[in-house]
Structure 1
Amino acid sequence: MTVISQLSSSLGQKGNDANIALAKEIAETENSYAIKELVQNLGNKDKKYKQIV
């Protein structure tokens, strides 16, 4: 599962609870891949995300 698919907006949820939980998990595990994926998609206006290759 990609990090983008775990965001509140991707899950169809309102609010930031899923985003906050995801941020804590990424910080605790120091998941650099997840951080790169999020940064790569910051300016992405398309609902489809870009995967890191």
Structure 2
Amino acid sequence: MINLPLIREIYFGTTDRRQMFRLFDRHEQRPDRWQNDDSALCTGERFEIARAVHD
């Protein structure tokens, strides 16, 4: 059996370009930013962007 991480919505609704980059950078203020691997912080997180912002 494969254990997949739960997917959680981190922003409800459709984001614009400004909000999209704020969501990308939301973990940047933590004190140990450069000490560890950051890939686990964003695992399973999702949000929707507008079609015009995608391209």
Answer 1 or 2: higher relative contact order, Cα 8 Å, separation at least 6: 2
Say yes or no: TM over 0.5. Answer: no
What's the TM-score, normalizing by structure 2? 0.29
What's the TM-score, normalizing by structure 1? 0.30
More strand by share: 2
More helix by share: 1
